[in-house]
Amino acid sequence: MKINEVEQLVGVTKRNIRFYEKEGLLNPGRNADNGYRDYTDADAEVLRKIKLLRKLDVPLEEIRKMQQGVLTLEDGLRRHIIQLEREQANLSTIRALCQTLADTGQQLADLDGDRWLSEMERMEGEGTRFVNIHKKDTVTHYIPPVVCALLFVVLMGGVMALLVWAAVAFPTDAPPLPVVVVLTLIPAVFIIGVLLALIQRIKQIQGGEENAASKY
């Protein structure tokens, strides 16, 4: 089967199929004639099991250990149950704090932020995990590489324009035409290289697993 057929058969996106391959959870063979991946019914069944466990929020590393025989299915799921119970207890603690804040009847303008942040720090010291706002509020990862690439392209484009202008404005002082062409092509090569690197970087950013709940 081709990847499109597996996607339709199992209901796992092509992006996730490739991601699981990269993570070593799926190892399809290659077609001897064209070198393309050739998925079998066994590969589809492996994907079904990965899909099942991921929908249960079992971490990839735990799935890998189950596949390798380091953990049995029972041991892996019991470990996951313990983790879920911890998360449930953590959510219950956060819910209780939200209820306490709501019961004060205060408006946002009157809320003593310092007092409650101190209380949250105390709770964190006891093991409660609140949302990592630095992670949640981080600007998308695409912006820095795109901005840097654009600045470089503009700079190299300016160098190319300057070389062409100098050759046209001062033809008698300009080097031979082949030299001008070579000098102009050098920045162009750099521009192409930067754009290719940007495309690769964007693919790396996009290379993670898609959200299981919304994509399956």
Q: What is the pLDDT of residues 147-181, one digit of tens each?
A: 899 999 999 999 999 989 988 888 887 788 888 88
CA distance 92 to 78: 21
**Per-residue pLDDT, 101:** 93
Which residue in this structure is represented by tokens 């919304």?
A: 214
With a pLDDT cut of 90, the percent of the chain lying above it is: 64
Q: What is the pLDDT of residues 65-101, one digit of tens each?
A: 999 999 999 999 999 999 999 999 999 999 999 999 9
Strand partners, 30: 37
**Which tokens is 139 given?**
């600007």
**Per-residue pLDDT, 41:** 95
- Is this model's pTM higher than 0.85 or not? no
At residue 142, does pLDDT exceed 90?
A: no
**Which contacts (CB < 8 Å, 24+ apart) does range 163-167 have?**
163/187
At residue 145, does pLDDT exceed 80?
A: yes
Residue 123 · residue 98 · CB < 8 Å: no
